Amino acid sequence: MASRCRSGASKVFRYLLRGVEFSMLPERQPWGGFMSMFRDTDGNTYYFDQFDERHANH
C-alpha cells in the first residue's frame, strides 16, 4: 500500500512515536523525492513517498 504526502518526514515521525518500526527511513530516491517503508503486524508492506515539488504535478 502506498501513500503520497507533502510532508513524509513528519508522517514518519508520528508513526515512530507510536512505535512503528521502519525497514527504510526516508531516503532520497533517484526520481527526486523521498520514500520510506514499514510493515504492519500481519506482514503487509506500506510505503510513504514524498515527491520533490518540481515533480509533484507530473
Q: What is the pLDDT of residue 23?
A: 92
Query: Residue ranges of the chain with pLDDT lower than 50?
Result: none
Looking at the structure of the chain, the number of domains it has is 1
pTM across the whole model:
0.67
> How many Å apart are CA 56 and CA 6, to the nearest integer?
9
The three cell numbers of residue 40 are 504492519
Q: What is the pLDDT of residue 19?
A: 87
Neighbours of 15 (CB within 10 A): 16
- State the CATH number of the domain containing residue 22: 3.30.720.110
Determine the structural domain holding residue 46 and report its residue range. 2-55
Torsion angle, alpha carbons of 28, 26, 2, 57, to 10 = -40
pLDDT tens readout for residues 46-57: 988 887 666 555
